[in-house]
Structures are given as C-alpha cells and as structure tokens.
C-alpha cells in the first residue's frame, strides 16, 4: 500500500469514527492530512463523514489548488492557512461543528483571546491557548486570512457560531486534540454557574515547563 492510499484509508476511518460518535453530523466537518511531498488530501465538499470513500478524497497541491478527486471542501482556505501558519508542525487539520464547542462560541462573555478555560491539564497539553475567531460566512476566504494572521503558536481556534478547527503534527494527534477540545468545551458549558477550580497560573506554568507547551 502506498503512502497516499494508506493515508486515504486512515482519513476515512477517523471520519467515520467521529461521525458514529456524534462529533459531527450530516455533511458537516472536514479533514485534511499532508503527504510527505507537501500535497494534502482533504474531504470533498458536501460529503458526510459517515460515508466518505477513500477514492473520492480531493488531492490538493501544497499551494492550495485542486489536483484530482472530487471538489474539495469549501473550507479549504482554513486548511491551507493552518499549514502555512504552523509549517512543519502541521501534518493534519480537522474542522468540526461539534455541539459543545459551538455552544461555547455562542456565549457572549467568552474571552476571544482564551476561549477554552483551563479546567484540566489535557486541553493545554494538546491545544495550548484556543482563540475564538469572529463569525464568517461558511466558505469565506476571510477565515483563512484570519488564521494566517494568528500567532504561529496557535494550533486551535473556535469559529464563532460555526465550530472548532485544530491542527496537529499528524492525523492521529489532530483528531485526538479535537476530541479533547470538544470534551473540555462540554465541561465548560456544563459547569457554567458552578464554583469550579480551574488551573491557576502556577499549575499552568508547571505544565508549560514540563511539556514545553506553546501557550
């Protein structure tokens, strides 16, 4: 099995898993992953994670233009922007419309500079600081431009009224980090109004030092 065919299978396996567990629905969400030569595979526009076929994935050049396969997701600018922002640290990008992350993005008092509260160490370890970006029309290239202007340490954002986007060094880490983002967003939503004990500056500094985190 070639590198490309193996990656096609793994993208679809992860997509179906996310769909089956209710982390995305209908034809929402998109995944991309880079090949060694810089090209990347991405789920097609209008496709469902529950039924996407490896042969239908879009092959896209490193510069962002469509090479073969079905037409790529209209959110392609998000993916190319994260690859550009993160460089070698981005081997895959996942974008979902997961329920709790979207719920969090709707709240008017969320800090856009630090949208995901440090309730556990794992969100910091896998995501760093998560920014809340403003609302953009789906498919608007301005989303990609907004990502391109972020601090290069940024590996995850939540798009207001839309959903989260996560970049990881490889496909596994991008998916797992996305799952951590959704789990932490769920905790944040479910504990609103309660007297919680989030991690403080000392605990966060210890994590940064111990794991060399980009926060």
* Three-class DSSP category at 123: helix
* C-alpha to C-alpha distances, 102 to 74, 132, 195, nearest whole angstrom: 19, 11, 23
CA atoms within 13 A on the CB side of 211: 17
Report, in this order, helix, strand and coil percent for the chain, each rounded to 5: 40, 15, 45
User: Which residues fall within 8 angstroms of residue 26, CB to CB, at 6 or more apart?
Assistant: 48
Cite the active site residues: 122
Tokens found for residue 59: 């092959």
* Three-class DSSP category at 61: coil
Chain centroid offset of residue 201 CA: 26
What is the sign of the dihedral through the CA atoms of 145, 88, 68 and 58?
negative
Contact 132, 157 (CB under 8 A): yes
Dist CA 169 CA 132 (whole Å): 21
């Amino acid at each position: 099995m070639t590198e490309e065919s193996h990656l096609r299978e793994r993208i679809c396996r992860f997509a179906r898993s996310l769909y089956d567990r209710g982390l995305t629905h209908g034809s929402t969400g998109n995944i991309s992953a880079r090949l060694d030569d810089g090209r990347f595979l991405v789920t097609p526009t209008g496709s469902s994670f529950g039924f996407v076929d490896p042969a239908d994935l879009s092959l896209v050049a490193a510069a962002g233009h469509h090479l073969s396969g079905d037409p790529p997701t209209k959110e392609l600018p998000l993916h190319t922007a994260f690859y550009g922002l993160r460089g070698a640290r981005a081997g895959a990008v996942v974008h979902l419309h997961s329920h709790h992350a979207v719920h969090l993005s709707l709240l008017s008092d969320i800090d856009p500079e630090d949208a995901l509260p440090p309730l556990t160490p794992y969100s910091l370890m896998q995501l760093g600081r998560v920014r809340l970006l403003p609302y953009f029309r789906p498919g608007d290239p301005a989303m990609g431009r907004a990502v391109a202007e972020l601090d290069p340490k940024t590996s995850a954002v939540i798009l207001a009224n839309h959903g989260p986007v996560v970049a990881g060094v490889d496909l596994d880490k991008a998916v797992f980090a996305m799952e951590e983002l959704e789990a932490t967003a769920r905790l944040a939503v479910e504990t609103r109004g309660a007297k919680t004990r989030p991690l403080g500056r000392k605990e966060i500094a210890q994590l940064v030092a111990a794991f060399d985190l980009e926060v």
